[in-house]
Chain A
Amino acid sequence: MNDVKKYLREWAMPHVLCPGCAHGIVLRSFLEAVDQLQLAQDQVAMVAGIGCSSRLAGYADFCTLHGTHGRAPAFATGLKLARPELDVVVVTGDGDGLAIGGNHLIHAARRNIDITVLLLNNSIYGMTGGQVAPTSPEGTVASTTPSGNTEPPFDPCQLLLGAGASYVARVLAATPTEMTKVMADAILHPGFAFIEVVADCPEYFGRYNKAGGGAEMLTQLAGRDTGVAVQLADKRFVNHIPSSETAPGLQTGVLRRETRPVFSGVRGGGDHGA
């Protein structure tokens, strides 16, 4: 493992995340990807919205923008258009990126602006205290669905494939090596790259749904063994197929990689989009 401490703002610690939360693992994987690619630290811009996942930007020692709820892809679009040489990475969550910010996300994907989006999907609102999210499986107990969620959830990857994202991948927070590899791959992808990171929230999702602590939830989601998190995850998509019929359950890895013209706004010099 590489030493990624140099990419952390140690002066900003202790962090706000709960024990057992996978968000720290995700940040570590991202920093390792940056290290592998040897990106210039002052040319990396991390743009976040609001939520637990978005707080990660504050601890990473890059140019970091903690914006407003759901709008990170729009901030990132302006940033990238004005400074195309920056490596722009958006970190968002399921509530931030798919509820309040869903519109910005799909339009950024459609334009194929050259940014990377990490969407940490833990199927619940963590920062605001465990409310139901657009990716909460049916049946999820949340503070706003005490008798179980009755709304069908989004499949984030299907949504982004539909929106025209030129790179779409799903990784599990429980498999950090794979996660680092995919993140590095996505950062190098010319155009809009989307990664759904299947993560946990032991504090709320785990507690409300009796799915166990952080370690248990992650093993369940990674190993597809029985457990409440998996039973719920089986119902995570609108047109879900029970996992018994779809080995190995959650499809992970790179789901799409294609090359299409990268958006650079309307500018001089005959660039695309002019």
Chain B
Amino acid sequence: MASLHGQRVVRQEDRALLTRGGTYVADVADPLLDGAAHVTFVRSTMAHARITGIDVEGVRTAPGVVGVFTAADLGLGFAPMAVPVLPPAMARPWLAGEVVRFVGEPIVVILTERRDQGEDAAEQAIIDYEPLPVVAHPEDARNDEVLLFPDHGSNTAAVFGDEGDASEFADCEVVVRERLVNQRVAVAPLEVRSTAAAVGADGRLNVWMSTQAPQSARHAITRAFGWELDSVRLIAPDVGGGFGAKIGPYPEEMLVAWLVRHLGRPLRWLETRSENMVAMGHGRGQIQHITIGGGRDGVVLAYRLDILQDSGAYPSMGAFLPYMTRVMAAGVYAIPNVACHATSVVTNTMTTVAYRGAGRPEATAAIERAMDLFAAEIGMSPAEVRRRNLIDVASFPHTTPTGAVYDIGDYRRALDLVLDAAGYDELLAEQASRRASGAVRQIGIGLALYVEITAGPTAGKESARVEIRPDGRAMVFTGTSPHGQGHETSWAMIASDVLGIGLDDIEVIHGDTDLVPRGMGTMGSRSLQLGGSAVLEASEQVLDLARRVAAELLGVGVDDVVLDHDAGVFRQAHDAVGGASVSWQQVAVAAAGEGGSLAAGADFQASTPTYPFGAHVAVVELDSETGLVTLDRFIAVDDAGRVLNPLIAEGQRHGGIAQGAAQALCEEMVYDDDANPLTTTFADYTFISACELPSFELVAMETPTPVNPLGAKGVGESGTIGSTPAVQNAVVDALSPWGVRHLDMPATPQRVWRAIAAGHDLSSRQGT
């Protein structure tokens, strides 16, 4: 059997997903859930207010209602902080009882016999509010005039980095400054949040949750309520997307577990799309001030990034993201002087959390905009300025001024490859001719290079267990928790390569803490490099055990036994095909007969994170009369080390590029000045669709990393990280004839048209 490594193996999980549909939490038909009541939350309609009264009498008598709980009824206090270093005074109550701090914050829990009855009953709840002044924008939060948590004394949740040295830019001929907004986006997974729970016959609590990290969710729930870890079994069935926002359990989800424990009745919660838009964590949300300085020869000498992170009302992962932004601040450049300082503040909006890239896209967006601004200022091509500042291929591992140690890369080659594939010179010629003719439809060419960090500082280790069943089939247990990433296929490929067992005879098990008690789940592009490496090591250990058993069966020494990968049988070394052999089945049966089992577990932890990198070119067409920007071409070089399954890696790149382009062109979670959310349906929140995207032109590049046996880096987020600034830079480039040097995302027709109109004003003023 030829090695599967590098083969375009079709995803094994898709047949089921595409034909009979997945089994998501709402589909789980376990008998334990028979007769489950449905959970509905009454949510705040005010962004910041004191609660002066909660009248639920009308709710109690509404049809189908079997339970109503307010904060006072629960008597539970506060949910634990998702990130322990954040100020305890900013903890989120399980239900708001005294003050609400964002529109969508849960105040009352209603249990009903049928799900639809919950929404009717919720309308009967009367909440009296006394409005408090609202902090809608992080820049307002910063001045601490209105405090969300007076006990804390300020709106600052976290501070990172160094203030830097004012003389950093003293030696620079040219210094450019800009304020950039990396806008808040909704995560909008196709499957909204959902949890179901029931007490089993053994008295343990079974919890089904749409999560990226079932083992951590079990820890979080048991720790929050002081329960024994073993008293909860957590199951993540098929999960319809998470993108980072389903890493940690939310208070709503944990409360469902608590209520079942206390009432003994099974419960189901499935939020609505409108709830999801306002009450699932949002992504991004940084205001960045960049300063970049250097010489007219194009060499950048100093770069400074000041970040104001919007943490939302109750700080969580979002408050922590600038830490990652800071680590990656320098990008692919050998800039001698780099400083980054960040402040995370709370506002009366939904909490921000990790979202595809989680802090790294923000770093890349800042430095790649800065490079373009610098290039424009000195009148040099963006490609040339970048080329002059790249980290040299000979200098890896490379330590950056903000402390990242890049493992390996060849950024110049990525740049050359992408420019070549794009036909950069022809694009420039086409652009020049359109500009010369004053065409209504102009083109913009955007370039972005990126390096990012995967399996980062908190990635920990990942577990795997491989077991051969008496029928000769292999079971692979993994602590990763796929929700679209194709682990069932990829892990089977790895095991198959080691064991010589066909993909059809390998089953990958994940997402059930009874079957896989230890694991960290899937986030931060960690799964293949850690979880996959663990599968590799566990498979190798099982092979060792099997060779020992086979040696006994064949009556030869262990060193004389080889696995014939093609036939999937063990033979004596150098023995001709057709000679004595034993199958996996025989070996497994023999092992079981001796009271043993053919199984091995491994935990894999890498010595350092890995740093995927790449170069992206976006070509946009600008309709200068309407402001409409269309993405015409997208060319991407993404180097994620050695690629296990190109089909899956390309799928990750496709999705990532689309999501990044969406942030650059269309998406924004908008709150008005009173912190009312305005984009709460899919009619208003305009995420991108296939119609708005070209076929991506993907260029392969593989620089294996030395830090794991697969040579793999993460690829789940890199598309987003590179494409966002590539598309944004293309938009700004298209607008440059109107004197535009920067335009914040998203490049909506109105925003683009205003920039053009302001540019016209500029030229007419200059003309007079």
Please indicate whether A and B come from the same complex rather than being unrelated chains. Answer: no
